[in-house]
């Protein structure tokens, strides 16, 4: 049945309100970002209201918390500026995937018909969020490859924060402990939204990436790990994020 004009107007407003609520939820979680600016100049961005609110929420030293977040984002800046090829590689991969994932009208109808049956999967621990509705097996493979790189970048930044932080940020241990709890979500509705939006997968990038970095460094040291920044071929494959030894064998064989 085709909805009438009034129903379409009401439906559009409801959908817009839902989209606005989701965007507001996501915006409240962003503290800072090193923007690689595909068509502009990269810059370190901080969301001051979120930083201040989160420091109060966690009950941590505000100045130390700001320095801690800045250290994370500054590590990203070093990752990209010290390895110029990395920015172009990541931009190219993300653009290619974005174009592939954009559904046409026929695909949208197919997606809509599968929403109900796949909703439990979206909320599962291993899901990657709404993108699961759009991706074909080939696209999921591309997404996994891109996620592996993001896990490397986020995990490496977290390792640097933990290793360098104590010398410059007195309360870093307390900040890390409380912030890790925050990443888990504050309640059932919060966790469900995180899974739906793919934020749970984003949180896993920090944990899995840090485990990969530390695992590689344990086997071949920091210098051996730094071979990861050589070229696209030395970036970790999806299966290697969970198996640092496999990366060491492939790259240092």
pLDDT at 102 over 90: no
Among the residues of 84-136, which ranges form H helices? 84-101, 105-122, 131-134
Average pLDDT, the chain: 78
- Tell me, what's the pLDDT at 248? 98
Tell which residue, 216, 211, 207, 210, has the closest CA to residue 251: 216
Phi–psi pair at 32, nearest 5 degrees: -170, 165
| CA distance linking residue 145 with residue 93, whole number of Å | 9
Q: Is 250 left (phi over 0), alpha (psi -120 to 50) or beta?
A: alpha
Q: How confident is the model over 139-157, as a mean pLDDT?
A: 88
- Tell me, what's the pLDDT at 225? 98
Tell which residue, 51, 41, 44, 52, has the closest CA to residue 75: 44
User: What would the pLDDT profile of 202-237 be if each residue is shown by its tens digit?
Assistant: 667 788 999 999 999 999 999 999 999 999 999 999
- Tell me, what's the pLDDT at 224? 97
Instruction: Using the structure block, give the residue that is written with the tokens 């592939």.
Output: 100
What six digits make up the tokens of 62?
């505000």
User: What would the pLDDT profile of 36-95 be if each residue is shown by its tens digit?
Assistant: 988 889 999 999 999 999 999 999 999 999 999 999 999 999 999 999 999 999 999 888
Other CB atoms within 10 Å distance of the CB of residue 60: 20
Q: How confident is the model over 117-146, as a mean pLDDT?
A: 65
**In the 8-state DSSP scheme, what is residue 234?**
G
User: What would the pLDDT profile of 179-188 be if each residue is shown by its tens digit?
Assistant: 888 766 555 4
pLDDT at 13 over 50: no
pTM assigned to the model: 0.74
- Tell me, what's the pLDDT at 243? 96
């Amino acid at each position: 049945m085709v909805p009438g004009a009034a129903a379409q107007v009401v439906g559009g407003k409801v959908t817009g309100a839902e989209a606005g609520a989701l965007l507001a939820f996501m915006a409240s979680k962003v503290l800072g970002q090193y923007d690689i600016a595909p068509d502009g100049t990269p810059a370190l961005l901080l969301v001051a209201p979120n930083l201040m609110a989160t420091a109060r929420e966690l009950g941590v030293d505000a100045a130390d918390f700001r320095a801690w977040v800045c250290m994370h984002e500054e590590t990203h800046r070093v990752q990209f500026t010290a390895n110029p090829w990395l920015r172009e590689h990541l931009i190219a991969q993300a653009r290619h995937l974005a174009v592939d994932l954009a559904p046409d009208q026929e695909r949208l109808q197919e997606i809509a018909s599968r929403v109900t049956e796949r909703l439990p999967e979206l909320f599962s621990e291993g899901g990657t969020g709404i993108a699961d509705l759009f991706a074909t097996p080939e696209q999921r493979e591309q997404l996994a490859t891109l996620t592996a790189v993001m896990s490397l970048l986020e995990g490496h930044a977290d390792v640097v924060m933990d290793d360098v932080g104590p010398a410059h940020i007195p309360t870093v241990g307390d900040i890390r402990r409380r912030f890790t709890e925050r990443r888990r979500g504050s309640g059932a509705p919060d966790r469900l939204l995180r899974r739906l939006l793919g934020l749970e997968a984003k949180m896993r990038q920090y944990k899995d990436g840090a485990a990969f970095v530390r695992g590689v460094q344990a086997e071949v040291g920091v210098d051996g790990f730094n071979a990861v920044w050589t070229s696209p071929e030395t970036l970790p494959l999806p299966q290697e994020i969970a198996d640092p030894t496999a990366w060491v064998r492939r790259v240092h064989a």
